[in-house]
Amino acid sequence: MMNRMLTTFNDNVQKNGLVAMAKAHGLNEYQMVILASIVQREVLNNSDAPGVAGVYWNRAFSTVPNDTAGLLGADPTVQYARDSEKPPKAYWLPLADSGKNIATNSPWNTYIFKGLPPTPICSPGLATLLAAAAPAKSNYFYFFSTKSGSIVYATTYNEFLKKYNSTPH
């Protein structure tokens, strides 16, 4: 089974030129997989993957001045850290507190540690691998999901708060 998964992964990477695409965005293959795994846990719809990947790419690698300080601030990475420390009965449950206050010593806590976490947090699909290899170009540094599952983007934290507080989520 593992050999089949790896063969499929390698075939998809080669067929789609993902390594070259990732390199064009300053990522190596492993970083692409890590980013794709985070995006995989964030999006309900594959069509949202490039935008969400773009936000995380901006947070980690953009030279544009912003208030994220290089922190991804990704809830799925904190869920992974929390669930790895104390395996629960059900995984990927929402965070009960700010990511800054959960699994604070874990290098997967992207509210505390800058850049990408050390490993992928799940097995990403082709859509999120494509998105991580070629993240959408934007000025967005923030996003959230609405009740309907659509993604709302913002450039600044203040803009994010205004949109978040005025949108059912």
Sorted by where each begins, the domain ranges of the chain are 2-165
Residue 13: is its pLDDT beyond 80? yes
Q: What is the SS3 assignment for the chain? A: CHHHHHHHHHHHHHHCCHHHHHHHCCCCHHHHHHHHHHHHHHCCCHHHHHHHHHHHHHHHHCCCCCCCCCCCCCHHHHHHHHHHHCCCCCCCCCCCCCHHHCCCCCCCCCCCCCCCCCCCCCCCCHHHHHHHHCCCCCCCCEEEECCCCCEEEECCHHHHHHHHHCCCC
pLDDT at 83: 96
Let me know: does 23 contact 13? Beta carbons within 8 Å. Answer: no
pLDDT at 149: 86
Encode pLDDT of 94-133 as tens digits.
Answer: 999 999 999 999 999 999 999 999 999 999 999 999 999 9
